[in-house]
Structures are given as structure tokens and as C-alpha cells.
Structure 1
Amino acid sequence: MANVAVHLEAQQPSLHAHVHDAIAAPHVEGQQHPIKVYLVVWGWLFVLSACSYLVDYFHLQGYLRWSLILLFMVLKAGLIVAVFMHMAWERLALAYAILLPPVAVLVFVAIMVFESEYTHLIRVLFFGSPA
């Protein structure tokens, strides 16, 4: 029992130092990012939204229109996910777990689009042109 008391007395100064350090230093929860990062991202979102608006303003048509609209949409979504949802600072495994499934879905949709064009071509050739 005496050994325990001596051991506790030996730890007392270090415990006191830890308590003093905890009181003196403000306790900060999580990471703090500089406000400049958020302001720059807001600026880029504004620029990308303006570019998306300009696609309609200049009356672009066809594949160019939809390609630009989708490009601006994906860039804006990427900025929002990376910065405002803090994915840029997450572990790589978590980022892959969240980002890879939508990419896989897009790849499968692209495969289905190509397959549907092939199927449509075969049906037109086999059954004749639709009237």
C-alpha cells in the first residue's frame, strides 16, 4: 500500500502539468481550415455558374451545349464535395468508398448507351426502317 502512495506522489507533478497545460491552451475540436480556401472555392463556383449560364446565353446547341453543361456541373459538384464536404482532407480509403461507386455507375451507363445504339442498329437492319 505504501508503494502505491509513493507511486501516486511521483505522478502528481506530471498530472499537475497536464492539467495546467489543458487549462492554459484552448481546446480545439477538429481541423480548422483557412477562410481563404472557402472564398476561393466560392469564387470558382461563381465563375463556373457564370460559364454555365453563358452556354444558354450564346444559344449553343447539340453535343457542345450538353458537354459544356455536364462539364461545368461535374466541376462544381467536385469542388463542393472536395471542400465543403471535406473530402479533400479525408483518408484515401473513405474517398474511394464514396467516389468510386458513382464513377462505376457512369461507366455502366456509358456501356448501356453504346449497347443501345448497337441494338437499335441491328433492329433497323433486321426489321427494316421504322415507318
Structure 2
Amino acid sequence: MSNSTQAAESHDGQEHPIGLYFKVWTLLFVLSALSYMVDYFQFQGLLRWSLILLFMFLKAGLIIAVFMHFAWEPATLKVALLLPTLAIVVFIIFIAIEADYIYLNRLEFLAGGK
């Protein structure tokens, strides 16, 4: 068998070490425990929501990267999937900013422009 045939066969049936999955499970458990601790220590306000969102995104990223095998995809596919997602997040931020602007203008108008 030639080297290119061996490389193609090893790539088709690509397997990852079980230790990687155990490490990710452990890290997911730790991140979930930290997320629980945010409630246990009764953090409030912006700190609370920032930590909850941080842990949520880290857990989701790990699950997507390892268990959904996204980490081993070609760079072009990663860009094709992540760029539109990033654009949607930016548009949502713009919409939220404009919604606050409209809301504050309506409050000012209804208050009589004081």
C-alpha cells in the first residue's frame, strides 16, 4: 500500500484519543460547577450575567469543538460557519442599541419634553 493510500484511509476513519474526551468532560463539569457557584455565592447585576454568559459560551464552544468535531474541520468551513454567526451577533447589538434609543426618545416625548 502506498503512503497516500494509507494517509487517506487513516483520515477517513480518524479517531481521537479517549483521554481527550475525558479531559473535556472534566472541564465541562468544572465550568458547570463554577456556573452553579455564581448562584450559590449570590452574585448580582452585571457580574452575575457576565459570568453566566462566559461559562455558557465556554461550555458551548468546547462541545462544538470536540464532540461535534469542529476543531478538525478545514479553516474554510470554520470561516463559512463563524463569519455569518458573528455578523448576526453584531446586528443584534446594533438593534438593541437602536431599541434603547427609540425607547428613551418615546419616554422623553411622553413626559412632555422636560
Q: TM-score under structure 1 normalisation?
A: 0.72
- 1:105 alignment counterpart: 88
- The residue correspondences of 1:1-131 to structure 2 (distance < 5 A) are 18=1, 29-128=12-111
CA RMSD across the alignment: 2.2
Q: Which runs of 5+ in 1 are unaligned?
A: 1-17, 19-25
Cα offsets for 1:70-91 (capped at 9, x unmatched): 1100000000000111111100
User: Relative CO higher for 1 or 2, CA cutoff 8 Å, sep ≥ 6?
Assistant: 2
> Offset at 1:101?
2.4
Bigger Rg, structure 1 or 2: 1
Unpaired runs of 5+ residues, structure 2, are 2-8
- The alignment-based identity, stated in percent, is 56
Report the counterpart of residue 23 of structure 1 in structure 2.
Answer: none
- From the superposition, tell whether residues 121 and 67 of structure 1 become closer, same or farther in structure 2 (CA, over 3 Å): same
- Structure 1 stretches of 4+ with a deviation exceeding 3 A read 26-29
